[in-house]
Amino acid sequence: MSIDTDHRKLCHALFDALEAGDVAGVDECYAPDMTMWINVSGETITREANLDAVDKGRALHRRRLYNDRNINTFDDGFVVQYTTHVVAHNGTEVPLSACLVAEVRDGKISKLFEYLDTTQFRSRAKTK
């Protein structure tokens, strides 16, 4: 297989596991020393903190889908633009536009950089 194919498979494996709430599946995609930077907080979190957030996040929503995955690969990673479509337990639907940049080493994700469109948070805050 090619690097392009391998990175696309890894990206889909990650997002499919996230949609399913499959923490073990997400863990399979990560290198042991994986870190994730998040633009909303400006913080970098560890693999363990990320997996804990994925686990706790399963209870927060009825359903979470990662639609319109537009994946571009490069030698040591991929960039994916997508829409997260969240359905809360009360039925409220929330779409969020996002971009994730992944560095890949030895077939596993070693670093993630998540960029959420924060204007969507501000426009919701104004309507409440």
**What is the domain extent for residue 85?**
3-127
Q: Which of 82, 86, 99, 71 is nearest to 10 (CA)?
A: 71
Contact 73, 89 (CB under 8 A): no
Residue at token pair 């040591």: 76
Per the structure, the count of domains in the chain is 1
Give pLDDT tens digits for 63-93. Answer: 899 999 999 999 999 999 999 988 888 888 8
87 versus 49: the higher-pLDDT residue is: 49
Q: What are phi and psi of 43, to 5 degrees?
A: -95, 155
Q: Which tokens hold the place of 39?
A: 């633009």
Give pLDDT tens digits for 1-47. Answer: 799 999 999 999 999 999 999 999 999 999 999 999 999 999 999 99
CATH number, domain at 119? Answer: 3.10.450.50
Residues 33-36: contacts with CB within 8 Å, 24+ apart?
33/110, 34/108, 34/109, 34/110, 34/111, 34/112, 35/110, 35/111, 35/112, 36/111, 36/112, 36/113, 36/114
